[in-house]
Amino acid sequence: MPLDDLFEEAGRQLTICNSCRYCAGYCPVWPALELRTALEQRDITHLANLCHDCGDCLSACMYAPPHQFAVDPPAVFAAVREDTYRRYVWPHRAPGPRGTGLAFAAACVVLALLARLFTGRWFTAGPTPGDPYEILPHVPLLIAVGVPSLWAAGVLGRAVLRYWHDIHGPFTDLVRPRVWLTTFTQAVQLRHMTGADAGCERPGRRGFHLVLLYGFGLCVLSTTAAAFAQNVLGAHPPYPWLSVPVISGGIGGVAVLVGGTGLWVRGGGSGFLWALLVLAATGMLTLLLRDTVVFGPLFLLHVAAVVVAFGTAPYSKFVHGIFRMLSIHHDNLER
C-alpha cells in the first residue's frame, strides 16, 4: 500500500477508535490516542511503535472485518512499524536472507585469511587450549568486531535522532534522567506487555521476551567483564569456569537459546531471532568445547556470526526495541 494511503487508512481506523474507546484499558496506545483530537503522521508513527501486537483489541472489536468499518489496529500498526524501520534507518538497503548468508560466508573467509596472516594457521587452536588470541590475535579480532559495531552504532544513532525529532521534537527531552528512569524500569520489565486494567498479555510471550532480554544483557555483561579483566586487571583468556565472564556468558547463552526458541515456537520468528540463536549456539559450543580440536572452527563461526549480526542489526528486528523505548519515553513525557 502506498505510504499516503497507509497513513490515511490508519487515521480512518483510529478516528473510529477515538470515538469508540472500548479498548481504553487494554494497553498504553489507547490513553495516548485519547490525548489527540487530530492525527498527524508523527502521531500515528508513535502510536504504532507503542503497540506490541498482542491482538486483543482486534479480538474485542465489534467493528473488525467483516464489519464495513474494517477496523484492524494490529495490522495497520504493524504496517506503519515496517515503514518506520525503513524510513528512519539510512542507508535503507537491507540484506535479504541470501545476502545475509553471503555476508556470513564472506566473514568466515576474511577471518580465516586474517588468522592465516597473523598466526600462520587456518583458524586452528594454538598450544594453549581455549586461548582465542592464539587463533586470531587481539588487535585484528578487535578490528573485525569493532568495524561492524561502529557502523551499527552510527546508523542506529542517526535513526534515534531522526525518529525522536519527528515524534517529539526537542532533543533536550532526551536528557531527562527521572523520566528515563521510569521508561527504563518499564522497558526492562516489559510492563507495556502486561496491558493495563483489562490486560492484553498473551500467555508465555512476555515471559520468553524477558528471558531473551535478560539473557542478551548477561552476554553483554560477559563481554564487558572480559574486557575489564583483560585491559584493567591484565588477566588474559581463557578465563576459569568460575569467573564472571564465563558464568554470565554461560547463563546468558542458555537464556537466549531458551527465550529465542520459545518465541520462535510461538510464531515470533524473524531474521534477528535466528541471528541471536546462531550467536548463542556457537558461543555456547565454543565455551563448552574450548579444550578440544574443534575450538578453532567454532570460534571462527562465532566471530563471523557476531560480525554479521552487528553489521545487519540496523536492518533487523533489533530496531523495534529502540523505537518502542523512544515511544514509551515520549508517552511518559506526555503524561
Nearest to ligand SF4 of 54, 219 (CB atom): 54
Question: CB-wise, 57 or 144, nearer to ligand SF4?
Answer: 57
Cβ proximity to ligand SF4: between 28 and 259 the closer is 28
CB 296 → ligand SF4: shortest distance, Å?
46
Q: How far is the CB of 167 from ligand SF4 (least distance, A)?
A: 17
Q: Can you read off the three cell numbers belonging to residue 51? A: 503497540
Distance CA 245, CA 103 (A): 28
| Residues 26, 52 contacting (CB under 8 angstroms) | no
Under a CB-based contact definition with an 8 Å cutoff, are residues 58 and 29 in contact?
A: no
Which of 52, 53, 55, 11 is CA-nearest to residue 33? Answer: 11
Q: Which is nearer to ligand SF4, 173 or 201 (CB)?
A: 201
As measured in angstroms, the least distance from the Cβ of 50 to ligand SF4 is 7
DSSP assignment, residue 81? H
Q: Give the interface with ligand SF4 as residue ranges (CB under 6 A).
A: 16-17, 20-23, 26-27, 29, 51-57, 60-61, 63, 71, 73-74, 77, 200
Nearer to ligand SF4, 21 or 335 (CB): 21
Can you tell me the distance from the alpha carbon of 43 to that of 166, in angstroms, rounded to the nearest whole number?
A: 9
| Cell numbers found for residue 36 | 489527540
Taking alpha carbons only, the member of 142, 114, 136, 132 closest to residue 289 is 132
Determine if residue 176 is left, alpha or beta; phi over 0 gives left, psi from -120 to 50 gives alpha, anything else beta: beta
Nearer to ligand SF4, 291 or 334 (CB): 334
**Residue 136: all three cell numbers together:** 586470531
CA dist 248 and 217 (Å) reads 9
Residue whose entry in the numeric block shows the C-alpha cell 551499527: 152
d(CA 288, CA 252): 14
How far apart are CB 47 and ligand SF4 at their closest, in Å?
Answer: 8
Report in angstroms how near the CB of residue 211 gets to ligand SF4 at its nearest: 20
**Minimum CB distance to ligand SF4, residue 159 (Å):** 22
Least distance CB 54 / ligand SF4 (angstroms): 4
Instruction: Round to whole Å and give the CA distance between 29 and 43.
Output: 11
Nearer to ligand SF4, 31 or 237 (CB): 31
CA angle, residues 8, 11, 16, in degrees to nearest 5: 130
Q: Least distance to ligand SF4 from the beta carbon of 78, Å?
A: 9
Q: Which is nearer to ligand SF4, 71 or 225 (CB)?
A: 71
For ligand SF4, give the closer residue by CB, 99 or 199: 199
Is residue 53 left, alpha or beta, with left meaning phi > 0 and alpha meaning psi from -120 to 50?
left
The maximal CA–CA distance of the chain, rounded, in angstroms, is: 72
Helix (H), strand (E) at residue 158: helix 138-167
